[in-house]
Structure 1
Amino acid sequence: MADIVIVNPRFNTSFWGMERCMGLLGKRANLPVACLPLLAALVPKHHDVTIVDENIEDIDFARLGRADMVCVTGMTVQGTRMREILKEVRARGAFTVVGGPMATVEPEELEDLADVIFVGEADLTWPQFINEWEAGRHACRYEQHDKTDMTTLPPPRLDLLKSQRYMFGSMQISRGCPFTCEFCDIIVTFGRKPRLKSTQQVLAELDAYYREGIRIVFVVDDNLIGNKKAIKPTLREIAKWQEDHAYALTLFTEASLDLAEDDELMSLMGKAGFQSVFIGIESPDEASLRETKKLQNVRERAGTLVERVKRIQDSGIDVWCGMIVGFDNDKPAAFDVLPGFLAEARIANALIGLLHAIPTTPLFDRLKAEGRLNDAAGSENFGTNVIPLGMSPGMLRDGLTRVTENSYSADAYFQRLDALFVDGGFKFAAHRLPYWRNHRLAWAKSCFENYVMFLVLATRLVLRVEDRGLAHRYRAQLLRAFRARKFEPQLLFTYAVKTAMHYHYDAIAKSLSASAGGPVPESVRSFSRARSRDTSDRVTTVGNGALH
């Protein structure tokens, strides 16, 4: 029996990580990387497995030094810390293994620091390696060439996570995306044919989260609706599960904008308990969308970008989005257009980052051929490795600072939030109302719990926020929301969470402004690099290989 430790390095402060407001929410991190319990589940049962997530606990290097095997996984934005951990563990004589998205797209950066490296998905190669390691004949590099059959995956070892230290849980239903966005590495890693778990697997994982006491779960699929026909039966069964459990779980996920073109799909997601969806809009400029081959966002018959966003909102699903600046088509004016677009679309939460060319992507290959890759990716370019075409690096830097400040000033943020949540009459869970009408006791319990959570968080925001000007603003916003929507406690609690998130965004914007003319904060470089794929920088972290 071997002692195996799986380590996830800490992330630097990032836009999506919500580090500044985690204390207000009573948690240490937003969510666990979903690959961690899956990797543990793939280890033969006769071995002992420990999960160490540096985002919620300190690493005991003496403990790692005593392990038979230390496995490190992470994204490129965790790269510096990954290297530090691997060096320290090897210096203590431990056997080291590394995998994850960084190992997949930049293996040369890590292979000299580990005894074994994994490239790509590792659902097959990881247990294969352990069997060979036991027999004393393992290889130094493993690369899985066949795509994983998702229906063969075991249930994740959620029992090994310190779940109560996270704000959300994380689970995966599918891998792959049918689209061809030039900057995105999803189709390179996962392929263009979405692969789904069975409905039985999904329901079993919901049961597991329910038993663990987790009530909010992020479905980390890069595009949950990549195969619309296949996901609909699963959504129907999730909706039945939710009714059987009095809608105990709140879900949110990522999807493509063509969700707005399928009324049945939006209805099913609402009934299944999906409260929010993250969509890669990328740019309000059609020329930039066409340039990056984001053609699913450019469909005249489907309506404008804003019309499609509002269609999703009208179905009772809140829209978050990712925006990218620095496309070849972008000029300095692009930074001034973006805040107005977000206001018109009533999107409060928008992750704004610079275009970054990830190795293995078509964008990387094109820019390399054109001699437009900045290998240093230093502070002048805010960490991006793309040499801009329509502006100077200085303009790019100033533009990102300006658009972040303009989009996340308190006035701009709460104008967007109130336009949807207060003045817009937005209705969470519109498709679930028939259930609540027939289950009044369950509805009353849910209302009570959400009122309590709203009051607790509102009190913390008013009393604990150090910037007293912001604290007074938050108090005014929370009172306004309460007066307008006092009989909708789920919406009030979500409003309070979004208010707490502004505290984090404000810190990011101030850090960005303070860096003007000097070194760029790692938090800025982190979210800029990670946002160049059609996902968020924290939520869809890939594990040992391409496991979410």
Structure 2
Amino acid sequence: MAQICLINPRFQTSFWGLNHAMPLIGKKSNMPVLALPVLAGLTPAGHEVVLVDENVEEIDFDALAAFDIVGLTGMTVQRDRMRAILEELHERGIFTVVGGPWVSVVEDAFAGLVDVVFVGEAEETWPRFLDDWSRGEHRARYEQADKTDMSRVPMPRYDLVKFREYATGCVQTSRGCPFQCEFCDIIVIFGRKPRIKTPEMVVAEIEAQHRLGVRLIFLVDDNFIGNKKAAKTILRAIIAWQRANGYPVALYTEASLDLAEDDELMRLMTEAGLIAVFIGIESPDEEALRETKKYQNVRGGMAERVRKVQDAGLEVYAGMIVGFDHDDPSIFERQFRFLKDNRILFAMAGMLSAIPKTPLYARLAAEGRLDDAAADDPQVATNVVPLLMSVEQMRDGWLDLMARLYDAENYFERFDALFIEGRLQLGSARMNWLRRNRPLSYLKIQALTTFAGVWLLARVWGDRRTRPYRPVYRRHLWKLIAARRPPRYLFQFAMKCAVHVHFATLTGQMARGESRLVNT
């Protein structure tokens, strides 16, 4: 039987990594990568598995020599660090296997450095490889013939994850997305037919993480509502569990904008304890959305649908993209205005990039508009050659857009518009149920939320990086207090301050040329 170490490489500092905010909330990383506990759960009994996430602990390369197999996973943004680790392992003669999103779209990315490559999902191929390895007959490449039946996968080994080091937990309820966005690699890797876990499986995973101390969980699906009927069934099961246990966890997820078309679905999400949803809005321009085949965003007004999701009690986080073929230099102002008018605080507006094997990559390659070397250039960070502006215009416009979005005054004007003037009903379904059915729990949560908000604000004020922003923080804090919003909004304000530190620090460093461009 094998001694196995599974490694997730360190992420470079990124927008959604919230790296600069982690010290304020006392954590090392935003959330764990599911690939490690999933693979550990797939490992047959008898093998010994150790998980190492370089985002929360250092890799001890000397200790790795004692393992029979060292496995490495990684996304596109981790590819440089993956190579560095694999070069070190190769130099030491350690038997190494690699899988994950990046090697699944660029299979020869690490040619000569690894012994075995896994392409795509591994629910069938990982156990098969271990059986082949035990007989000394393993292959150099494994790829499943069929997509995984998610209703039959084993429970991930959450007991091996150091959840105390992460800000949030994460549970995957499905894989695949029914849409056909040209730039997206999800449909390449996981397909367009959503494959879904049973409600019992999802609840068991939420409960397992809760027992390990997790209080905030990201339902990390490609599109949680890819199958709306199944999503509703899962939400009803989560509601039952939350009520039976006094709503011990908050949740958020990723979904498409057609969420706004289903009132029942939004109601079930808030009753299940969801407080936010990430939506790939991409562009305020219908022409750009049609170009990239994001047709689900052009059915009705986007602004009206964003407002409808917010009015249901869900904060909207937005994914935005600049650099579509219809984008000229005026797009940056339109992006800024859309996000301001629609009260969206958290928005990652990235430059369009073409991932290998996607339809976008094939189209731009045929048009001679790819520059793959530029994707690794720290002053470019995209391989796309735009049509109506130069690469330099796109980069500089994007940097200015990010700086404006995370200017402290602009950022908290959006906070006021959503949480004070807009009076977003965040978590109201959960709190109303607790007040009616468990009044003592309701009072306890109110007290704990208030304490947590004050504690976090004290940490924010005590951090030297916040000195330039404190006058803005103070002014908007008094506006919130004067509005007499419930205690959970004080905590939300404190969290928004911590996250602002991250966004403002990162955008400032990039604008001043103090760090490489981060396009994710």
- Which TM-score band (shorter chain)? over 0.9
Residue in structure 1 matched with residue 67 of structure 2 by the alignment: 67
Partner of 2:411: 413
Counterpart in 2 of 1:521? 515
Q: Is the 8 A contact 2:465 2:501 kept in 1?
A: no
Map of 1:465 onto structure 2: 464
Q: Aligned equivalents of 1:224 and 1:485: distance in 2?
A: 34
Letter in 2 for 1:317: L
1:374 aligns with 2:374: no
By how many angstroms is 1:67 displaced?
1.1
**Which residue number corresponds to residue 438 of structure 2?**
439
How many residues matched?
A: 518
Please list, as runs of the form range in 1=range in 2, the aligned pairs for 1:237-276 lying within 5 A after superposition: 237-276=237-276
Instruction: Assess if the C-alpha contact under 8 Å between 2:225 and 2:255 holds in 1.
Output: yes
The Cα shift of 1:282 comes to 0.1
AA partner of residue 512 (structure 1): M
Q: Name the aligned partner's letter for residue 455 of structure 1.
A: V
**Range moving further from structure 2, 56-65 or 421-430:** 421-430
- TM-score normalized by structure 1? 0.92
State the partner residue of 1:392. Answer: 390
| Equivalent-residue separation in structure 2 for 1:475 and 1:112 (angstroms) | 56
Report the equivalent of 1:98. Answer: 98
State the Cα deviation string for residues 434-456 of structure 1 (Å, max 9, x = none).
Answer: 44322111111111111111010
Deviations along 1:366-420, one digit per CA (max 9) or x if unpaired, are 0011111012115486211011101011211111111111111111111111111
Letter in 2 for 1:394: E
Give TM-score scaled by structure 2 length: 0.97
CA drift of 1:241 comes to 0.5
Pair 1:23 & 2:20 matched: no
AA of the residue aligned to 1:414: F
| CA distance in structure 1 between the partners assigned to 2:380 and 2:321 by the alignment | 13
Question: By how many angstroms is 1:32 displaced?
Answer: 0.1
* 1:25-82 alpha-carbon deviations (Å, 9 max, x no partner): 1000000001211111111121111110000111111111221111000011111110
- Runs of 4+ in structure 1 off by over 4 angstroms are none
Find the counterpart in structure 2 of residue 540 from structure 1. Answer: none
> In percent, how many aligned pairs have the same letter?
50
**Aligned in 2, Cα 1:288/1:381: closer, same or farther, shift over 3 Å?**
farther
1:276 aligned counterpart, secondary structure: strand
With over 3 angstroms needed to count, the CA separation of the structure-2 counterparts of 1:440 and 1:307, relative to structure 1, is same
Q: Give the whole-Å Cα distance in 1 for the aligned partners of 2:274 and 2:135.
A: 46
Aligned match for 1:383, one of 381, 384, 391: 381
| AA of the residue aligned to 2:444 | K
1:485/1:69 Cα in 2 relative to 1: closer, same or farther (>3 Å)?
farther
Q: In the TM superposition, what is the alpha-carbon distance from 1:480 to its structure 2 partner?
A: 2.9
2:476 alignment partner AA: Q
Distance 1:380 1:154, change over 3 A: closer
- Whose relative contact order is higher, 1 or 2, with alpha carbons under 8 Å and at least 6 apart? 1
Q: Which residue in 1 is equivalent to 2:51?
A: 51
**1:315–1:430 contact (8 Å) kept in structure 2:** no
Shift of 1:156: 1.0
1:503 matched residue in structure 2: 501
- Residue in 1 that maps onto 2:189: 189
TM superposition shift of 1:234: 1.1
CA RMSD of superposed structures (Å): 1.3
Residues 380 and 138 (structure 1), Cα distance of their counterparts in 2 relative to 1, 3 Å cut: closer
Report the more deviating stretch, 83-92 or 312-321: 83-92
Query: Are positions 1:308 and 2:302 aligned together?
Result: no
Q: How much has 1:21 moved relative to structure 2?
A: 1.0
**Is the CA contact (8 Å cut-off) linking 1:66 and 1:94 kept in structure 2?**
no
- Counterpart residue identity of residue 429, structure 1: G
AA in 1 matched with 2:509? S
1:451-462 matched pairs, under 5 angstroms? 451-462=450-461
1:353 aligned partner: 350
Partner of 1:236: 236
**What are structure 2's unaligned runs of at least 5 residues?**
none
Q: What runs of 5+ residues in structure 1 fail to find an aligned partner?
A: 528-548
Deviation at 1:431, TM superposition (A): 2.8
Distance 2:231 2:333 in 1: 38
Counterpart in 2 of 1:539?
A: none
**Aligned partner letter, 1:352:** A
Over residues 203-226 of structure 1, what are the superposed CA-to-partner deviations in whole Å (9 max), with x where a residue is unaligned? Answer: 110110111010000111010000
Quote the offset at 1:9 in angstroms: 0.4
**Which residue number corresponds to residue 332 of structure 1?**
329
Q: Secondary structure of the residue that 2:112 maps to in structure 1? A: helix
Counterparts of 1:387 and 1:25, CA distance in 2: 39
Q: Distance in 2 between matches of 1:447 and 1:36?
A: 36
In the alignment, the residues of structure 2 paired with residue 324 and residue 296 of structure 1 have an alpha-carbon distance, to the nearest angstrom, of: 16
Residue 317 of structure 2 aligns to a residue in which SS? strand
Give 1:482 shift: 3.0
Distance across 1 between alignment mates of 2:194 and 2:97: 28
Change (3 A) 1:146 1:52: same
1:334 maps to a residue whose letter is I
Conservation of the 8 A alpha-carbon contact between 1:176 and 1:192: yes
